Amino acid sequence: MAITIRLDDLLHDRRMTLTELSDRVGLTLANLSILKTGKAKAIRFSTLEAICRELGCQPGDLMSYEGDR
């Protein structure tokens, strides 16, 4: 997939666990894990907003496009 999720890097930088983020945003650990491993096919804007709010980041900090140009 051309979209890369950098959730693991952001969590590490903020010294936060996936479990802690799960509690803060109200998503299951399983769903966040799917997103973190890059297996998610979609993300709701409300989920993206909650993650960015809790991590103090912008959507572009969380995702990047790495396709051929």
What confidence score (pLDDT) does residue 69 get? 59
Dihedral sign for Cα atoms in the order 28, 45, 43, 64: negative
Alpha helices in the chain (DSSP H): 7-13, 18-25, 29-36, 45-55, 59-62
Residues 12-69 have pLDDT tens digits of 999 999 999 999 999 999 999 999 998 999 999 999 999 999 999 999 999 999 877 5
CATH numeric code, 3-65 = 1.10.260.40
